[in-house]
Amino acid sequence: MEIKLATPTAAKEVSKKPEPTDVYKLMASEDKSDFEWVSIPAKDDRGFEHPDMRLNRLVFEAGKKHFVHPIIAETLKKRLEIFRNTVLRSLLSNRDLKAEKNVN
């Protein structure tokens, strides 16, 4: 029976982190078959103008539909959900004043 010792190069191979996603390369992709439409609402639940959403240098304007890569679409949908939950939370009668102070 042969025993193999761990080498420093083997440890580096195991602990490799995934490469960060380059959103600009994703948007410039030639194959747009899996792209999705994401719409940013013009107004939020309070009736105020919805702010534009930004992802690095990419700006997604409120009140428009955007044709984006699925990874970017997922990120935008998550951010929209978080924003909507924050707005709804501020409208509740038993508001979380501590959370509001942290935001403001």
DSSP 22-51: -HHHHHT-S--TT-EEEE--SB-TTSSBPP
Asked if residue 56 belongs to a domain, the reply is yes
- At 42 the three-state DSSP class reads coil
Is residue 42 in some structural domain? yes
- Is the pLDDT confidence value at 54 over 80? yes
Q: How many domains does the chain have?
A: 1
Percent of the chain with pLDDT over 70: 75
The boundaries of the domain holding residue 83 are: 22-103
Torsion sign across C-alpha atoms 78, 79, 81, 82: positive
Place of tokens 């939020």: 44
Chain centroid offset of residue 91 CA: 24
Does residue 5 lie within any of the structural domains? Answer: no
Whether 3 maps to a domain, the answer reads no
How do beta strands 65-68 and 58-60 pair? unpaired
Q: Most confidently modeled of 3-7, 10-14, 63-67?
A: 63-67
